Amino acid sequence: DADVTQTPRNRITKTGKRIMLECSQTKGHDRMYWYRQDPGLGLRLIYYSFDVKDINKGEISDGYSVSRQAQAKFSLSLESAIPNQTALYFCATRPTGWNEQFFGPGTRLTVL
Partner 1 sequence: TQLLEQSPQFLSIQEGENLTVYCNSSSVFSSLQWYRQEPGEGPVLLVTVVTGGEVKKLKRLTFQFGDARKDSSLHITAAQPGDTGLYLCAGAGNAGGTSYGKLTFGQGTILTVHP
- Under 8 Å between Cβ of 92 and 99: no
Rounded to the nearest whole angstrom, what is the least distance from the CB of residue 40 to partner 1 in the complex? 6
Decide whether 19 or 31 has the Cβ nearer to partner 1: 31
Q: Among residues 29, 15, 17, which one has the least CA distance to residue 91?
A: 29
**Which residues of this chain interact with partner 1, rule CB under 8 A?**
4, 31, 33, 35, 40-45, 48, 50, 58-59, 90, 92, 94, 99-106
Please report how close the Cβ of residue 104 comes to partner 1 at its closest, in angstroms: 5
Task: CB nearer to partner 1: give 85 or 101.
Answer: 101
For partner 1, the closer of residues 9 and 79 by Cβ is: 9
CB of 53 to partner 1, least distance (A): 15
What string of H, E and C letters represents the secondary structure of 51-83?
ECCEEEECCCCCCCEEEEEECCEEEEEECCCCH
Q: Rank residues 51 and 79 by Cβ distance to partner 1 and give the closer one.
A: 51
Q: Positive or negative CA dihedral for 66, 35, 53, 63?
A: negative
Shortest CB 80 distance to partner 1, Å: 27
Residue 18: CB atoms within 10 Å: 10
CA distance linking residue 102 with residue 22, whole number of Å: 16
